[in-house]
A and B are shown apart, each in its own frame.
Chain A
């Protein structure tokens, strides 16, 4: 296995670092929001919702945050966490465009489109 590996351009190293940093930002933000909501829940013992129920749509989450309900804040953090991989794919499109790698730009756009479609289908259920 001598000179294999030269196929990958040097720039991809920067791509990896950039995506890594973007992910770290997303993960930290979502963890802080989830942690805050969770501490609020444990401290007050009040979820803000009738027993056995919790927000299951974006509008419920937004309304719940407005009235400072702990379950809504946790759910917002969870939604942010769910979005980190999507965000990561979005960032990848930009970095592949910057690298002028048209093949991987297209591949990444396809993945991103499927993700968006799946979110829209989930919402419409």
Chain B
């Protein structure tokens, strides 16, 4: 039992680290590590990954808020969409076979990898006029980029597209027990044109709330096994604390390049697993 706990802890530190770097929940690492490598039932892996998402979110938000990378107005506004979506997803998840969860999860990751690949060379968002609603909602902002040693100002656009995408992100989170940070980062990066680091930090900030909205359901349903969830929570918190320090020093291009291979590898494994059940 102790050796399994240590293994879970190690995977979780890595999940928290990567999750806080990229604005993802870490479920992306936790779910396949627990199911594919440690042979833990997907039922408990999903519960553990919900815990991982919340730990990554709260753990990394401490630093990203303090250093003002997170755009809390964008985050709060979009949380309306993600919480309603999460609730929708949690209630339809009991109706779907785990086999399909693997395949859906795998295909989602694959799609995100392709999407990230297309944008791999873009360091900072280009100039554009902000959406009128972004002005009204006071969303445009600035942050200090440690990799460039300068203050970076940015505008926000694509509010409606971003909002819609966030609802989908919430549904996926509730359905699969992942933070679907990919979709949150995508909504802010692609639709709303926020800088990569702001998207990542704001996604991290938001996904805890999305996950908390469905965590109650998972808890009462018996998906959260203490002996698995405890090392996950502790490991992820450690990893996220380290990740927030590293992320600010990295260039956005580097962040994307770290992510693409991981995403491809995990997505293919999950699809294979789903097909073989």
Contact = CB atoms under 8 A, between A and B. Distances in A.
A30 B233 CA distance: 9
Closest 8 CB pairs of A and B: A122-B216, A85-B208, A5-B142, A20-B65, A74-B226, A122-B217, A38-B230, A114-B83
A92 B206 CA distance: 13
A79 interface: yes
B70 interface: yes
Interface of B: 1-2, 5, 51, 54-55, 57-59, 61-63, 65-66, 68, 70, 72-73, 76-77, 79-80, 83-84, 86-87, 90-91, 127, 130, 135, 137-142, 153-155, 208-209, 211-222, 224-227, 229-231, 233-234, 237
The interface centre, meaning the residue of A16, A41, A75 with most chain B CB atoms within 10 A of its CB, is A16
A104 B139 CA distance: 11
Nearest to B77: A107
A75 B2 CA distance: 19
Please report whether the interface of chain A is mostly helix, strand, loop or mixed according to DSSP: helix
Contact of B208 (A2, A79, A84): A84
Interface size range on A against B: 35 or more
B76 A115 contact: no
Contact of B226 (A2, A9, A54): A54
Contacts of A114: 80, 83-84, 87, 213
Contacts of A77: 230, 233
Contacts of B233: 30-31, 34, 77-78, 81
A17 to B, nearest CB: 6
A105 B208 CA distance: 20
Contact of A1 (B127, B138, B212): B127
Interface in A38-97: 38, 41-42, 45, 47, 54-57, 70-71, 74-75, 77-79, 81-86, 88-89, 92
A89 B217 CA distance: 19
Nearest to B136: A103
Contacts, number: 194
A119 to B, nearest CB: 4
A17 B138 contact: no
Given A7-B135, A71-B226, A111 B76 contact: yes
Contacts of A102: none
Given A20-B62, A38-B234, A85-B209, A5 B57 contact: no
Contacts of A71: 226-227
Given A1-B154, A34-B230, 7 more contacts: A30-B233, A42-B1, A56-B222, A86-B212, A88-B61, A89-B209, A111-B79
Contact of A19 (B2, B72, B138, B220): B72
The interface centre, meaning the residue of B55, B226, B230 with most chain A CB atoms within 10 A of its CB, is B226
Contacts of B79: 89, 111
Contact of B212 (A17, A75, A115): A115
Contacts of A9: 138
A104 B1 CA distance: 47
A81 B54 contact: yes
Contacts of B135: 7
A38 B231 contact: yes
28 contacts: A4-B154, A5-B142, A12-B73, A16-B66, A19-B65, A20-B65, A24-B62, A27-B58, A34-B234, A37-B226, A41-B226, A41-B227, A42-B1, A42-B5, A55-B226, A56-B221, A56-B224, A81-B51, A84-B54, A85-B208, A86-B209, A92-B72, A108-B76, A114-B87, A118-B90, A118-B213, A121-B87, A122-B218
A82 B65 CA distance: 19
